Amino acid sequence: MVTIRDVAQASGVHVSTVSRTFSAPHLVSAETRNRVLAVAEGLGYRPNRAARALTTGRTHNLGLIVADIANPFFPPLIKAAQAQARERDYHVFVADTDENPLMEQELIETLCKQVDGVLLCSPRLSNRVIERLRAQVPFAVVNRRVKGLPTVLMDVGQGVRAAVEHLADLGHRRIALLSGPSGSWTSEEMHATATDAAAEAGVELTVLRPNEPTEQGGLAAAAAVAGSGMTGVLCHNDLVALGLIEGLRERGLSVPGDLSVIGVDDSLPGRLNRPKLTTITMPTAAAGRMAVDLLLAAVNAGDAATAALARLETTLIVRESTGPAAPSALPARLPASPAVR
């Protein structure tokens, strides 16, 4: 069996350099790293992760927990996180909570025994429970503010403000927000920003909540939207928006002829839909990479870890699902004051 000493001797480097090449490649120069890897490949050397874990106390595994792996929001984040972790010689275990906070807690408690850190993406658990669980393993969080934890936030409020202003500029005076599930940080941010932006634009805002963050959630809300007198709708995500469009179509209403609809995520289904969906981009891949970096920084820092915060911008992409409000739906612009029902 080829050993690490054989690789070191053939590469002309110290054993510790070979070890760092596999455990912390970013600490080894590109030239040395490439030479060691080439020699290891030629000799057929494979590092023994179990032995390394016994020596270092590190598994070189990370847990990544998402709310719904079937939601197109998550796969780009997962792929980016896995690629970033691989660059740092870490493997990623992915788990899906199916939007169930009890399952989320169970998964965390199971994974923490097998990983060096856990990345929570859009968690549904309360902050109180997350703060209690963090004593078992280092955490980093995407799209949730938890005191003391490294965090990556996609600033959905930035895109929401642009969406409300876009609808107001098109003449819409009564708009709806289809909010997301309870416990969703994104949903709360959208609600707060849409309320402020609607007041500033002199637009009446009706909030319909909570809604399942799926096509079925949009379909279920279609009846309430169709009978509300609203002419523009901002949805929790693209899936809800696509379900809403289908539900409105079943009721004889067209988009954007009768109602304008905006989603969030800029997902592939929204780009392929007819009409193509106006949406708010969410930099999920960048968030995945950054979250892994913050998590590994916390793992390496131990008790000295800091609660780093990274905030990523979002933008509105105007496509085909928004248009001018119908002439019959154009009352005088409301005064610039809160008007949320």
**What whole-number distance in Å separates Cα of residue 150 and Cα of residue 161?**
26
Q: Tell me, what's the pLDDT at 120? A: 96
Q: 276: burial class by Cβ within 10 Å (0-12, 13-18, 19+)?
A: middle
Q: Which of 91, 93, 92, 97 is nearest to 69 (CA)?
A: 97
Q: Tell me, what's the pLDDT at 2? A: 84
State yes or no: cis peptide before 275, omega within 30 of 0: yes
Scan for tokens 């169709």, then name that residue: 226
Please answer whether residues 248 and 120 qualify as being in contact, where contact means their C-beta atoms are separated by less than 8 angstroms.
Answer: no
Q: Tell me, what's the pLDDT at 328? A: 59
- DSSP three-state, residue 265: strand
Angle (deg, nearest 10), helices 185-201 and 156-169: 30
Q: Which of 272, 267, 209 is nearest to 239 (CA)?
A: 267
Q: Tell me, what's the pLDDT at 20? A: 83
Flag residues of the chain having pLDDT under 70. Answer: 48-57, 303-305, 328-341
**What whole-number distance in Å separates Cα of residue 209 and Cα of residue 39?**
59
Q: Tell me, what's the pLDDT at 334? A: 41
**What whole-number distance in Å separates Cα of residue 165 and Cα of residue 248?**
23
Q: Produce one character per residue of 293-322: b if its CB has 16 or more CB atoms within 10 Å, e if not.
A: bbbbbbbeeeeebeeeebebebebbebebb
Q: Tell me, what's the pLDDT at 300? A: 86
Q: Tell me, what's the pLDDT at 239? A: 96
